[in-house]
Structure 1
Amino acid sequence: MTDATAFAEMQQAFDAAAGWFEQTVDAIDTRADEWHVSALGEWTVRDLVGHTSRALLTVEQYLGPGPSTSNASTSDYYRAVRESRSDPEAVAERGRQSAADLGDDAAGAVREVSARVRLLIAHQPADARVVTPVGEWRLAAYLPTRVFELAVHTADLLRATGLEDGRGAPPTVNRVALRVLSGLLAEASDDDAGMLLASLTGRGSLSPGFSLL
């Protein structure tokens, strides 16, 4: 597979992930009482929709002019985020603020953002410059992180609202998310390696709350 083909497939995965998120929010909007249900930690469904919308908005906001020569990988992004020691309360507050920014018609706002950003990404090259608060990446390396966020949090929304029946992620979205995790898995600490090997081969279980992120 050429780099161009691989990036085209990543663009398609992003488009599918954004579409899945948009459809899920539309489904939630038909059940207005679901917006204030607890969804993830201290977030309500509306808060989590706001947070998840940032997977679309950030790629739009971080795109810079000209190409990037960065060699940083997708896994490097998560390492940089961990090392920045992001304040959980600050992350939670950004989610709540993003929810407020969606306005009175959250589903309509998500549709608008989704359409705009999907069109934008469809016309970007693989080496488009993405400047984040924790460094610079080529779009081809950064975009998988957005697919991963959309995959994980859209599934969170489906679980929280009981809409899981027949609304699973498009296969390409799950595949990209798993590839992101596989990169993080390969870099797991020596302390975690034994537990991960045992759990992934059916010989043990992960500690409660364990995460590769």
Structure 2
Amino acid sequence: MTVQFAVAAEDFVQLVRRVPPERLDGPGLGEWTLRELIGHTSRAITTVTAYLEHPEPEELTIHSASEYLEVVLRQHGDDEAILLRGRAAGAALGDELAAEIEAMRVEAATAIAAAGLDRCIAIGGDATIAMRLGEYLRTRVFELTVHGIDIADAAGIAWAPAAAHVLDALHLAAANASARGTGIEALRLLTGRRPDAGLEGVLRSGA
């Protein structure tokens, strides 16, 4: 599946430009305000630049975006640390959120062009958790896509990410559900076997 980090990052900038300032201190997602949710999502851009500043690891330990979601997020994730980083990132954006994120986007694009997609990166600077930049960017598009939808919902904005990005996000979410032993339930939901999910028309013949 073809996903384009540059497109996802630019779409995110444009989405943030449309967020009403008066909504920023209102609900975002979970314990985050909308500003903090935007701050968390902006880290999908800044981590690219940050990880490319570290020395290149000698060998891969993570071979795909789906493996990243399972190993890094599930086995090494720290919900409290993620919450606090989102809050700090939101505060650091200041009053001109879109302008700050645009600068982050440009910096990341420059770093990616210089490195190339085959460059190996150490996640969080830890050489024992290493993957190809191209696969890491898929996880960044996943974050920008999923949280972009969250931001649009919280801000009351009609917004849709690129269809290819939605498809790849569905693929990664399904792979992660399967890895966690909940693949059958996810399949039931996606094929309308759980009517309360609002998907009863999925796979039904006719218009």
TM-score normalised by length of structure 1: 0.80
Does the CA contact (< 8 Å) of 1:68 and 1:138 recur in 2?
no
Does the residue aligned with 2:161 lie in a helix, a strand or coil? Answer: coil
- Partners of 2:74 and 2:192 in 1: CA distance: 28
* 1:69-88 matches, cutoff 5 A: 69-70=59-60, 72=62, 73-80=64-71, 81-86=73-78, 88=79
Matched with 1:211 is: none
Q: Give the distance between the partners of 1:156 and 1:203, measured in 2 at CA.
A: 25
CA distance in 2, matches of 1:83, 1:71: 14
Per-residue deviation at 1:141? Answer: 1.8
The answer to whether the Cα contact below 8 Å between 1:67 and 1:127 also exists between their aligned partners in 2 is no
RMSD: 2.3
Cα separation, partners in 2 of 1:85 and 1:122, compared to 1, 3 Å: closer
In 2 relative to 1, CA 66–91 (structure 1 residues): closer, same or farther, beyond 3 Å?
closer
Answer yes or no: is the 8 Å Cα contact 1:127–1:139 preserved in 2: yes
**What one-letter code is carried by the residue in structure 2 that aligns with 1:39?**
G
Matched-pair contact (CA < 8 Å) for 2:56–2:121:
no
Native 8 Å contact 1:49 1:99 kept in 2 = yes
1:16-55 equivalent positions in 2, closer than 5 A? 16-28=7-19, 31-55=20-44
Match of 1:196 in 2: 186
* Cα displacement (A) at 1:187: 2.5
Post-superposition shift, 1:199?
Answer: 2.1
Match of residue 110 from structure 1: 101
Superposition misfits of 4+ residues, deviation over 3 angstroms: 64-69
Contact 1:59 / 1:130 at 8 angstroms: preserved in 2?
no
Contact 1:17–1:150 (Cα < 8 Å) also in 2: yes
CA displacement at 1:100 relative to structure 2: 1.5
Task: Tell me, yes or no, if structure 1 residue 125 matches structure 2 residue 116.
Answer: yes
What is the DSSP-based 3-state SS (H/G/I as helix, E as strand, rest coil) of the residue aligned with 1:202?
A: coil
Aligned length: 191
Structure 1: 5+ residue runs without aligned partners? 1-5, 208-213
1:137 to 1:21, Cα distance in 2 relative to 1, 3 A: same
Separation in 2, partners of 1:44, 1:197: 32
**Aligned-residue identity in percent:** 34
Taking the aligned partners of 1:50 and 1:17, their CA distance within structure 2 comes to 16
2:85 aligns to what SS in structure 1?
helix
Give yes or no for the alignment of 1:172 onto 2:164. Answer: yes
Q: 2:175 aligns with which of 152, 175, 183?
A: 183
Q: Deviations for 1:64-106, whole angstroms, at most 9, x for unmatched residues? A: 44576416221221222211241x2221110010112212322
* Distance in 2 between residues matched to 1:155 and 1:197, nearest whole Å: 21
Question: Which of 20, 30, 48 matches 1:59?
Answer: 48
The TM-score, its normalising length taken from structure 2, stands at 0.82
Contact 1:68 1:137 in 2 (8 A): no
- Shift in Å at residue 34 of structure 1? 1.4
Deviation at 1:204, TM superposition (A): 2.6
2:25 & 2:48 partners in 1: Cα distance? 27
Aligned mates of 1:18, 1:108 — CA distance in 2: 13
* 1:98 maps to amino acid: A
Deviations 1:29-58 (A, max 9, x none): xx2211111110111111111100100001
In the other structure, the counterpart of 1:3 is: none
Question: How far, CA to CA, are the matches of 1:180 and 1:108 in structure 2?
Answer: 30
Which amino acid letter does the alignment assign opposite residue 203 of structure 1? Answer: R
Code of the residue aligned with 1:43 in structure 2: it is W
Q: Work out the CA distance in 1 between the residues paired with 2:95 and 2:187.
A: 47
